[in-house]
Amino acid sequence: MKRVLTIQDISCVGKCSLTIALPVISAMGVETAILPTALLSTHTMFKGFTFKDLSDQIHPIIDHWQNEGISFDAIYTGYLGSIEEIDLMKELFKRFKTKENFIFVDPVMGDHGKLYPHFDDAYAKKNKELCALADYIVPNLTEACLLTDTPYQEDYDRPYIEDLLQKLAALGAKVVAITGIAFTKGKTGVYGYDTRSKQYFSYETQQIEAMYHGTGDLFSSVTVGALMRGLSEAKAFKLACDYTALTIRKTLENPSKPWYGVDFEATLPSLIASLSKDIDGTY
Q: What is the pLDDT of residues 71-116, one digit of tens each?
A: 999 999 999 989 999 999 999 999 999 999 999 999 999 999 999 9
Indicate the pLDDT class of residue 174, thresholds 50, 70 and 90: very high
Q: What is the mean pLDDT of the chain?
A: 95
Residue 211 has pLDDT above 90, yes or no: no
Q: Are 98 and 80 in contact (CB under 8 A)?
A: no
Residue 117, pLDDT score: 85
Residue 246, pLDDT score: 97
Residue 281, pLDDT score: 63
Q: Which residue has the higher pLDDT, 202 or 256?
A: 202
Residue 282 has pLDDT above 60, yes or no: no
% of the chain exceeding 90 in pLDDT: 92
Indicate the pLDDT class of residue 243, thresholds 50, 70 and 90: very high
Helices (H), 105-214: 121-131, 141-148, 158-169
